[in-house]
């Protein structure tokens, strides 16, 4: 309690952990570590999910800890303002490499330049002529236990690619899952291809309307470890009769292996394939005519060859009028592959920009929370 008073924290010691807010839990955790005699504290995105008031308190205590008590603090953050406000020196990491550092404060654009480099030239791509609206969201809000997504309104045209950018957990995942029917809408209307808004929107309904959803965790949400490629084929095939035609499914799996250049055998268990090959096989299992493809991190962890191949496939789908919405932590990918980019920060759609009219600087700022 003495410790708590020193930093101005107000945590009731008799409260149950479940009943504390995120900010209070964080304060408790800090007190626990300090009471244990910690000298170095590493805080990973400490301001996600806490109130502005608690943030001020946290920052004050961090300053006290560093300046008056000689503790070492390491802050991991995407939010440039916070970094500028609190830190003495910033190290910038990009794609697993240390790419530079700056003494703080320094002008924001210098940090942004280090973080996002120069955007690569946009690959040449067909312009879609279709202007038919595939998906329309009207003031859609979504709630999860950790975050509430404030109302979002947007439209996606046939053949269009919408990239969702933002720090992980800023609300873009909620939106994507709501579109897939995996999370209920807390409010608002969702219309697909002009379907009636009264439609009860859940995942099976979305599937029936030609919506496909590819999650980030391929073996957790998508593929079934312990089943072979042939068994996967038989599973997604429309069942004709009671018994599985194994020869047919096997042949189908073999055909897909050839067309989609999967390294594996029809008898291979899916978990024994590499991530790139698992992703290829997931694409192979997608139905032919789709209205909308929703993807979380479609190329995360894949090599360049698989990444390019995936986007070739998506481009082919696009040209037949399939709309695509995807999330990626890779800003280069978002900028290069999207027609439109929706930037999320702290549970809010900050801005929607045309991909052709933006640059890394702007995107970086938007993601950092400077609307």
| Residues in touch with other proteins (CB under 8 A) | 203-204, 207, 213, 215, 219-227, 231-232, 234-236, 239, 241-244, 246, 285
CB of 262 to other proteins, least distance (A): 17
The DSSP code sequence of 37-95 is T-SEEEEESTTTT--HHHHHHHHHHHHIIIIIS--EEEEE-S-HHHHHHH-SEEEEEET
CB of 227 to other proteins, least distance (A): 6
CB of 57 to other proteins, least distance (A): 38
Q: Which of residues 53 and 220 has its CB atom nearest to other proteins in the complex?
A: 220
Residue 24: phi and psi, rounded to 5, are: -65, -40
Q: Which of residues 158 and 295 has its CB atom nearest to other proteins in the complex?
A: 295
CB of 237 to other proteins, least distance (A): 8
CB of 202 to other proteins, least distance (A): 11
Q: Which of residues 78 and 218 has its CB atom nearest to other proteins in the complex?
A: 218
User: What b/e readout covers 291-328, taking b as 16+ CB neighbours within 10 angstroms?
Assistant: bbbbbbbbbbebeeebbebbbebbbebbeebbbbbbbb
Which pairing describes strands 185-192 and 133-143: parallel, antiparallel, or unpaired?
antiparallel
Residues 6+ apart with CB under 8 A from 233: 249, 250, 252, 253, 256, 266, 285
CB of 203 to other proteins, least distance (A): 7
* Lookup: tokens for 190: 């969702």
Query: Hey, is 133 helix, strand or coil?
Result: strand
Distances (CA, A) of 247 to 227, 237, 252, 253, 256: 16, 13, 9, 10, 14
The residue written with tokens 């069942």 in the block is 239
> Which of 136, 132, 125, 130 has its CA nearest to residue 314?
125
Q: Which of residues 191 and 237 has its CB atom nearest to other proteins in the complex?
A: 237
Ramachandran region, residue 239 (left: φ > 0; alpha: ψ -120 to 50; beta: rest): beta
CB of 220 to other proteins, least distance (A): 7
Strand order in the sheet with 185-192: 148-157, 133-143, 185-192
Q: Which of residues 175 and 367 has its CB atom nearest to other proteins in the complex?
A: 175
Distances (CA, A) of 1 to 5, 6, 94: 6, 9, 41
CB of 245 to other proteins, least distance (A): 10
Q: Which of residues 78 and 297 has its CB atom nearest to other proteins in the complex?
A: 297
CB of 3 to other proteins, least distance (A): 33
> Which of 216, 222, 223 has its CA nearest to residue 298?
216
* Lookup: tokens for 49: 């999910």
Q: Which of residues 199 and 236 has its CB atom nearest to other proteins in the complex?
A: 236
Q: Which of residues 110 and 245 has its CB atom nearest to other proteins in the complex?
A: 245
Measure the CA–CA gap between 268 and 33, rounded to whole angstroms. Answer: 48
Q: Which of residues 8 and 217 has its CB atom nearest to other proteins in the complex?
A: 217
């Amino acid at each position: 309690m003495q410790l708590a008073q020193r930093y101005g924290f107000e945590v009731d010691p008799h409260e149950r952990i479940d009943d504390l807010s995120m900010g209070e839990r964080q304060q408790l955790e800090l007190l626990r570590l300090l009471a244990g005699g910690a000298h170095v504290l590493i805080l990973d995105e400490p301001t996600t999910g806490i109130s502005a008031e608690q943030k001020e308190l946290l920052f004050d205590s961090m300053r006290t800890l560093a300046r008056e008590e000689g503790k070492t603090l390491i802050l991991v953050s995407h939010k440039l303002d916070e970094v500028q406000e609190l830190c003495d020196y910033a190290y910038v990491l990009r794609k697993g490499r240390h790419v530079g550092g700056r003494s703080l404060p320094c002008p924001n654009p210098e940090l942004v330049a280090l973080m996002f480099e120069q955007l690569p030239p946009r690959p040449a791509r067909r312009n879609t002529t279709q202007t038919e609206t595939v998906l329309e969201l009207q003031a859609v809000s979504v709630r999860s236990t950790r975050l509430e997504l404030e109302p979002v309104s947007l439209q996606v045209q046939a053949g269009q690619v919408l990239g969702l950018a933002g720090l992980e957990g800023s609300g873009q995942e909620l939106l994507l899952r709501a579109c897939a029917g995996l999370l209920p809408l807390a409010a608002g209307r969702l219309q697909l291809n002009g379907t009636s808004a009264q439609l009860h929107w859940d995942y099976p309904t979305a599937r029936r309307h030609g919506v496909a959803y590819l999650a980030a965790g391929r073996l957790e949400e998508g593929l079934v470890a312990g089943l072979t490629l042939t068994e996967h084929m038989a599973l997604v095939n429309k069942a004709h009769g009671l018994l599985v035609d194994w020869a047919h499914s096997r042949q189908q799996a073999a055909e897909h292996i050839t067309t989609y250049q999967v390294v594996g055998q029809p008898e291979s268990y899916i978990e024994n394939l590499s991530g790139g090959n698992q992703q290829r096989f997931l694409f192979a299992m997608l139905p032919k005519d789709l209205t909308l493809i929703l993807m979380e991190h479609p190329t995360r962890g894949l090599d360049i060859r698989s990444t390019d191949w995936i986007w070739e496939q998506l481009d082919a789908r696009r040209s037949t009028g399939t709309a695509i919405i995807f999330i990626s932590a890779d800003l280069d990918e978002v900028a290069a592959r999207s027609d439109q980019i929706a930037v999320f920060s702290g549970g809010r759609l900050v801005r929607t920009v045309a991909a052709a009219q933006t640059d890394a600087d702007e995107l970086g700022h938007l993601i950092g929370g400077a609307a």
